[in-house]
Amino acid sequence: MEQPLLSMEGITKQFPGVTALDDLSLELRAGEVHALLGENGAGKSTLIKVLYGVYRPDAGSIRIDGRRVHVEDAQHATRLGIGVVFQELNICTHLDVANNIFLGRPKNTLGVIDERWMRREAGRILADAIKLDIDPARLTRHLSIAEQQMVEIAKVVSRGCRIIVFDEPTSSLTENEIEHLFEIILDLKRQGVGIIYISHRLEELPRIADRVTVLRDGRRVGTMDYKDTSSDELIRLMVGREFTSKYPKYERKIGEIIFEVKNLRCRNKLDIGGLTVRAGEIVGLAGLVGAGRTESMRALFGVDPADEKEAVLFGKTMHFRTPGEAIDEGFVYMTENRKLFGLCFTLDVESNINLASLRQLSSAAVMNERRAADNAESFRSRLAIKTPSIRVKAKNLSGGNQQKVILAKWLSRKARVLVFDEPTRGIDVGAKYEIYKLMNELSDQGIGIIMISSELPEILGMSDRVVVYREGRIAATLDRTEADSELIMRYATGVKKR
């Protein structure tokens, strides 16, 4: 049998209170895309960090081309030909694109740092590696999250690694960029690079995956050829039970209109009017990325300025100037971006959950510790947040579990209208179902919900009405009974006929 490019055998890694990896083995062949699947907290990122020398395993061995290696640190991993695009963006936002790409690499000719040479090289790398035209002199903090991600990918891909890991690379990319990334991956594969691909989006796999390994609770539950398996089987392996439906059945009791955006304008980017939400209703906002859904909600919430803004909440005209004012009135916007907003990595899970509702949890300005702990515990169990204790620091949670902590934080606030922006991004199938159930419970309390989502099945599965955005305007408002993906896409793109 052919020698695998990489083999990890019997890897075990413990953290206080958790066995993140338990006697886990994985083999990677040259020229294959090996998908690594598992619920939030299953151990995927930890395995990659062991491979990259971030963590030392408690037991187990790693071989490359059959030769035993002890990966010391990231530099050593790079020398061994291992490259990783991490789940958390690794970019230095105070540096420009060129310096990011050259981080940890020689950046000189004749012994001096040569900025011009570096920029020219970086431009070439961007063009060659990812066929993208980004100015190497731009500060990365001025790039969109997707562009930052692409720079990160260029950095790793251009190093000529033989083993490349992508840990949830697509969660912040648009459709076009995802397609672009797949072409890059298929190209690497043709060059014989071995690729480990981590994603929660099973619908991506047919396009690229050769084999799949499923992890559960730090153990391997199966490795198979992708073509011999099915989504249903993969979900069953990941979650350990059968899923009959992705969306919980629910009869919603919808009341009167409680919130209306009468007029929202922002230069020539946004022109929104007539967006209504009724008590207990879930309104899905559909549209292409860049259609202005997030922008409009951020402007309403008071994070970004608007030229004109008129909204009515329970009959009262609202002019939220700051997020604080909006929250006080019961209008809460939950951001899609957990990395920039929302989570304090150095605080524990409990503090993060309670951060936005300190006032409600206090009496006479003193925080009621009992109530605070109870609140955090109750969300931990409702959202199945995987952590040994609520005293664990947020940075030690897996990516998807961090996302759940942010949800819990905003849900502990008493809201009357809640905006969920991409609520299930990076979240595994089982936990998605829990989040949908929670949305139904919230609607049952008469809360109006606006859900921004790029996943059409999610929009169709959860919304009572679907509002379709196109180029900063509302292109259509559809009732659940008349909405289907084709109609939504037609309004979203402005293409009239098939």
Ligand X SMILES: Nc1ncnc2c1ncn2[C@@H]1O[C@H](COP(=O)(O)OP(=O)(O)OP(=O)(O)O)[C@@H](O)[C@H]1O
List residues binding ligand X (CB under 6 A): 15, 18, 20, 38, 40-46, 87, 386-387, 396-401
Rounded to whole angstroms, how far apart are CA atoms 111 and 12?
43
Facing residues of 216 across strands?
A: 219
In the complex, minimum distance from the CB of residue 398 to ligand X, in angstroms, rounded to a whole number:
3
Q: Which of ligand X, Mg ion, none binds 235 (CB below 5-8 Å, type-dependent)?
A: none
Site string for Mg ion, 85-124 (x = CB under 5 A): --x-------------------------------------
Count interface residues toward Mg ion (CB under 5 A): 4
Q: How far apart are alpha carbons 264 and 170 in whole angstroms? A: 31
Q: How far is the CB of 99 from ligand X (least distance, A)?
A: 28
Q: Residues 288, 470: contact at Cβ < 8 Å?
A: yes
Q: What angle do CA 314, 320, 321 make, to 5 degrees?
A: 170
Neighbouring CB atoms inside 10 A of 32's CB total 19
Of ligand X, Mg ion, none, which one sits near residue 20, judging by CB under 5 to 8 A according to partner kind?
Answer: ligand X
54-65: b (≥16 Cβ within 10 Å) or e: bbebeebebbbe
Which of the 8 DSSP states describes residue 152? H
Q: Is 284 in the site for Mg ion (CB under 5 A)?
A: no
Closer residue to Mg ion, CB minimum distance, 169 or 399: 399
From the list 441, 439, 448, 442, the residue with the least C-alpha distance to 279 is 448
Contact pattern for Mg ion over residues 46 through 85, marking x by CB under 5 A = ----------------------------------------
User: Considering the complex, what minimum distance in angstroms separates the CB of residue 38 from Mg ion?
Assistant: 9
For residues 352 and 398, which CB has a smaller minimum distance to Mg ion in the complex? 398
Provide, rounded to whole angstroms, the least separation between the CB of residue 423 and ligand X: 15
Tell me how far apart the alpha carbons of residues 19 and 57 are, in angstroms, rounded to a whole number. Answer: 11
CA–CA distances in Å: residue 326 to residues 259, 266, 303, 349 = 13, 18, 10, 25
Minimum separation from the CB atom of position 45 to Mg ion (A): 3
Structure tokens at 241: 């039970």
Binding to Mg ion (CB under 5 A) within 375-414 occurs at 398-399
Q: Identify which of residues 11 and 163 has a Cβ nearer to ligand X in the complex.
A: 11
User: 47 vs 439, which CB is nearer to ligand X?
Assistant: 47
Shortest distance in whole angstroms from residue 431 CB to ligand X: 9
Of 6 and 48, nearer to ligand X (C-beta) is: 48
In the complex, the smallest distance separating the C-beta of residue 52 from ligand X, rounded to whole angstroms, is 13
Considering Cα of 393, then 394, then 395, then 396, what sign does the dihedral take? positive
Residue 148, classed as helix, strand or coil, is helix
Q: Strands, E, within 335-464: which ranges?
A: 362-363, 366-367, 417-421, 448-452
**With CB cut-offs between 5 and 8 Å by kind, which of ligand X, Mg ion, none does residue 43 bind?**
ligand X
Q: How far is the CB of 395 from Mg ion (least distance, A)?
A: 13
Say how far apart CA 354 and CA 259 lie, in whole Å: 26
Joined together, the tokens standing for residue 277 give 């939400």
Burial of 336 (0-12, 13-18, 19+ CB in 10 A): buried
**Which one of Mg ion, ligand X, none interacts with residue 81, CB within 5 to 8 A by kind?**
none
When CB distances to Mg ion are compared, the closest residue is: 45
The site partner of 396 among Mg ion, ligand X, none (C-beta below 5 to 8 Å per kind) is ligand X
What residues does 108 pair with on adjacent strands?
Answer: 113
Q: Can you tell me the distance from the alpha carbon of 386 to that of 400, in angstroms, rounded to the nearest whole number? A: 9
Are 386 and 46 in contact, with CB atoms under 8 Å apart? no
Instruction: Give the one entry of ligand X, Mg ion, none that residue 42 binds, where binding means its C-beta sits below a cut-off of 5 to 8 angstroms depending on kind.
Output: ligand X
* Least Å from the CB of residue 400 to Mg ion: 7
226 and 35 Cβ atoms separated by less than 8 Å? yes
Q: Which is nearer to ligand X, 42 or 334 (CB)?
A: 42
- Please give the structure tokens belonging to residue 161: 């690694």
CB of 54 to Mg ion, least distance (A): 13
Binding status of residue 426 toward Mg ion by CB under 5 A: no
Q: Does 45 bind Mg ion (CB under 5 A)?
A: yes
Q: Which does 15 bind (CB under 5 to 8 A by kind): ligand X, Mg ion, none?
A: ligand X
Question: Which residue of the chain is nearest ligand X when measured via CB?
Answer: 400
Residues at the site binding Mg ion, with contacts judged by CB under 5 A:
45, 87, 398-399
